[in-house]
């Protein structure tokens, strides 16, 4: 029997529309993991955000966060490997994103701690809403600075811009022609706002999955997803599964369409797959 690695997206795939994972999925996932089945997730969320939702599932395989930028240990509750932009990348991106302070923030590591760094002052409403939400939760990662230059200080692993599609399109156009970094530009899974997320070169879900496959010695990969940012994972998978609530573009290129995120589609597929 093939040694299989199962990799699921979180939002709208493993997670239900209310941003939770069902008790049934938690119970069955933990039983499968205890039996030695290799299961993990790959998400655009930061590890803290993902962990807060999935902490009851005891993933033993490293989890993939920030769209492949960071590996983390779910059991120990800590990040274990992170990719960073180099100095040349930072200089280029500063020039290409001169107004990042209006609609975005940088994810910066300082003395081993990750901060979401944003500049004081007016923001587009979508970015301000994000900042206000996490500040209201007492999230100590939110760090306000006085100048745009300060947003670029430290070891930067991720750049996030949140606004309307019209607002972000010029930023997208300015960075999309370069192969010196990775990026995702798409509508939020739950709201009308758009996100432009920029990652270091080779930091993608797909490449992170391939790294795990090699490190674990697996000979087969099964992935689950719903959105456009899951398509690179679909391309490198042996079996690509779209939940039934997935975008049509995703279902059209999948090998299998499974039950929806509200129907525990991911764990039920794994249960049936292993017999």
What pLDDT does residue 188 have? 86
Using pLDDT thresholds of 50, 70 and 90, give the confidence band for residue 228.
confident
Q: Work out the mean pLDDT of the chain and round it to a whole number.
A: 95
> What's the whole-model pTM score?
0.88
Chain position carrying tokens 């745009």: 148
DSSP string of 78-142?
A: EEEEE----HHHHHHHHHH-TTHHHHEEEEEEETTEEEEEEESS---HHHHHHHHHHHHTT-TTE
**4-82+203-274 topology per CATH:** Rossmann fold (3.40.50)
Q: What is the pLDDT of residues 30-89, one digit of tens each?
A: 999 999 999 999 999 999 999 999 999 999 999 999 999 999 999 999 999 999 999 999
What pLDDT does residue 226 have? 95
The answer to whether 4-82+203-274 and 87-200 have equal CATH topology is: no
Task: Assess contact for 6 and 39: CB atoms under 8 A.
Answer: yes
What pLDDT does residue 1 have? 47
What pLDDT does residue 111 have? 87
- 87-200: in CATH 3.40.50.720: no
Q: What is the pLDDT of residues 142-161, one digit of tens each?
A: 999 999 999 999 999 999 99
- Residue 182 phi, psi dihedral angles, 5° rounding: -110, 155
Q: Examine the pLDDT at 2 and tell me if it is beyond 90.
A: no
Task: Assess contact for 137 and 172: CB atoms under 8 A.
Answer: no
- Ranges of beta strands (E only) in the chain are 4-8, 38-41, 63-65, 70-73, 78-82, 104-110, 113-119, 142-145, 155-163, 181-187, 194-200, 220-225, 239-243, 256-258
Question: Quick one: what percent of the chain has pLDDT higher than 90?
Answer: 90
239 closest CA partner among 220, 251, 226, 222: 222
Query: 96 CB contacts (<8 Å, ≥6 apart)?
Result: 171, 174, 175
Q: What is the pLDDT of residues 72-85, one digit of tens each?
A: 999 999 999 999 99
CA atoms of 259 and 267, how far apart (whole Å): 10
* For the chain, domain boundaries: 4-82+203-274, 87-200
Start-to-end C-alpha separation, the chain? 11
């Amino acid at each position: 029997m093939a040694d299989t690695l199962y990799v699921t997206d979180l939002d709208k795939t493993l997670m239900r529309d209310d941003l939770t994972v069902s008790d049934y999925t938690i119970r069955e996932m933990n039983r499968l993991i205890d039996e030695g089945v290799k299961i993990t997730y790959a998400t655009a969320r930061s590890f803290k955000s993902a962990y807060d939702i999935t902490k009851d599932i005891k993933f033993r395989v490293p989890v993939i966060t920030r769209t492949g930028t960071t590996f983390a240990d779910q059991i120990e509750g800590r990040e274990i490997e992170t990719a960073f932009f180099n100095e040349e990348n930072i200089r280029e991106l500063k020039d290409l994103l001169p107004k990042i302070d209006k609609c975005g923030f940088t994810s910066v590591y300082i003395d081993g701690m990750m901060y979401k760094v944003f500049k004081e002052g007016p923001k587009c409403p979508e970015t301000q809403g994000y900042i206000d939400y996490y500040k209201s939760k007492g999230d100590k990662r939110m760090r306000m600075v006085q100048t745009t230059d300060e947003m670029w200080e430290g070891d930067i692993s991720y750049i996030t811009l949140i606004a309307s599609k019209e607002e972000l399109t010029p930023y997208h156009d300015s960075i999309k022609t370069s192969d010196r970094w990775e990026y995702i530009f798409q509508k939020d899974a739950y709201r009308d706002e758009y996100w432009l997320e920029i990652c270091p070169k080779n930091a993608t879900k797909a490449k992170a999955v391939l790294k795990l496959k090699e490190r674990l010695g697996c000979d087969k990969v099964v992935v689950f997803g719903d959105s456009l940012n899951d398509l690179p994972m679909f391309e490198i998978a042996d079996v690509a599964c779209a939940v039934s609530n997935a975008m049509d573009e995703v279902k059209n290129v999948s090998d299998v369409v499974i039950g929806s995120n509200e129907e525990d589609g991911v764990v039920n597929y794994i249960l049936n797959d292993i017999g």
